[in-house]
Amino acid sequence: MPAVAGGGGQRADSANKAPPQGEDKPDGIASRVQFSVHRTPSSGGAAMTPVQGADWEPPACWYEPRYSPEEFSAYATKVDVRHGEGANGQGGVRARYPDMHIGDKGEWYVMRYNTGTTSGTPEECLDQDGFVFIGPGHPAPADAPVLDAEILAGLAYQRARLPAPPLTLSPKAGRQVVNLATHVRFARTLGRVWVTAAIDRAGRELAATTVAEPVRLRLAAGTTDADPASCTYDLVKGAGGGYSVNTEDAECNIVYRRATAEGTQHTLRAALTWRVFWSEGPGPDGTPRHAMPEGESVGDVAVTVKEIQAVNRD
């Protein structure tokens, strides 16, 4: 049975399809990229997404090191390894490389697809050969997406999960009062979130860590019957490293100007903006190499507003 990876045009049936969703094992060869996720709180949260309008997509495909020449030769003996009808339009690898580069310094790299993307696998990935040999005197093909720290950082970004804003309202959400400012604080401090993506091949580790730090909170009242209808606050980093907010003394606080009708509510939306960067290595404290698109996590609170003259702020 041929193990087809990559290729465009009239490919074999197994390569005509996008890689199956939910598993990174197209053609039976799983990616060896490993992920380590750290977040506070340690559970829950939603996948990190770039703020609206950010032009960014995670890596769609990459070549990662997999076989020594001897290992690949043995693999190709058991499986009819093909390139597909892609960049070079040729089939069996043995037909193109009878010696399988045995005796040459270097490794065989395998094309892997990102099965977690929602936009599908782009044609530039499907047009790549499924296997390439890379080593001294055998450079990677031009523009080939060979796995590096930047690609790992993009994969780590995709794996990050961000907690929703842990809001506490005063007055409470079910006791909002007309013409009384809504004060907000966090029920607990928020910590950094970071994900390390790494691959180990023959004792050589390549790793990158993507770090997200909460920096801003934006509140939207969920109705035009509020003035102001939205406010934005910078978070404060405490001595213990956690981030918090308390708007009691802030210049901007949402004020609802009309009571909600019986049985209805407004949806107060809280959006946290996270500053994101990556660095080489397995930890979050390396020198930031590059900024990445800001991330966002969102939480909604149902609020009821009443006409009450006196209120107990609890």
Q: Are 94 and 100 in contact (CB under 8 A)?
A: yes
Rounded distance between C-alpha atoms, residue 4 and residue 92, angstroms: 9
The percent of residues above 90 in pLDDT, for the chain, comes to: 60
DSSP letters, 276-302, are EEEEESSSTTSPP-EEEEEEEEEEEEE
Q: Are 294 and 50 in contact (CB under 8 A)?
A: yes
Rounded distance between C-alpha atoms, residue 300 and residue 242, angstroms: 22
Q: H or E stretch including 249?
A: none
pLDDT higher than 50, residue 7 = no
The predicted-structure confidence for 96-106, as pLDDT tens digits, reads as follows 788 899 999 99
Residue 38 β-bridge partners: 194
Domain boundaries along the sequence of the chain? 2-147, 162-306
Q: Are 127 and 61 in contact (CB under 8 A)?
A: no
Among 141, 78, 132, which residue's Cα sits nearest to residue 109?
132
Residue 84 has a CB neighbour count (10 Å cut-off) of 29
pTM of the model: 0.82
What is the DSSP-derived secondary structure letter of residue 28? G
The predicted-structure confidence for 269-314, as pLDDT tens digits, reads as follows 999 999 999 999 998 988 887 889 999 999 999 999 999 765 566 6
The predicted-structure confidence for 205-244, as pLDDT tens digits, reads as follows 899 999 999 999 999 999 999 999 999 999 999 988 899 9
